[in-house]
Structure 1
Amino acid sequence: MDLFHILSEDRIKKAYRDGEFDNLPGYGKPLELEDLSYIPEELRMAYKLLKNAGFTEEENHLRQEMMTIEDLMKRCDDNIEKAEMQKKFNEKLLRFNQLMSKRRGHTNSTIFKNYQLKIQDKLK
């Protein structure tokens, strides 16, 4: 054991004796552990970081759907079908903006589109 470890342990023990941990939220209650078994081990840390930053699976799913709909609209020749896709896209965008406003994020869709274009350019 190094000196830093010994000093840290001593300070923790002193704080515990002095009752500094008694009023912490969740004191005496079991920990609420998340089941991350469905996430590959090498991606768990990234998943936790994104989740703690406020990114949700629903938000990611909506982004993917919007990108798919936009791609389909670019390739569609039928105006009626294109109008239906535009309606679906607008619904997804509205839901996405609602999620972002709950998170107090930036809801400007042009930033998202610019980011999408940059990724597409790199993948080409």
Structure 2
Amino acid sequence: MTILSWLAEQRIQEAMRSGEFEDLPGHGKPLQLEDLSGVPEDLRMSFKIMKNAGLLPEEVTLRKECVTLETLLAACHSNGNTEDGERKELKSQLTLKRLRLQELMGQRGFGNSSAFSDYGDKIQEQLTREE
């Protein structure tokens, strides 16, 4: 253990004894750890930074929008003319999103990557999982 590690540890112990960690948000509750196992190791830090900044890669946003459109389509029943028009519009939007996603994946060289396909499946699973 280096001198800096030792010094940091001593200060942490002192702060614990004096109760400085008692009133922290989430005190006594389990940590909510993120499952980044589906993200390639070299991309995890950049994804974490982007997520904390409120940014998502375009492919993640497109996948999320596709899931939303698929859910809306599943909820639509073709009983009347207005709903048929609604279904057509939703199908059209879904097709456009899927084409853009496919184009984006091709541009980034992920079109034939099995690793990226597995990653995509995990994203899809996360987006469709019931909360």
TM-score w.r.t. structure 2 length? 0.43
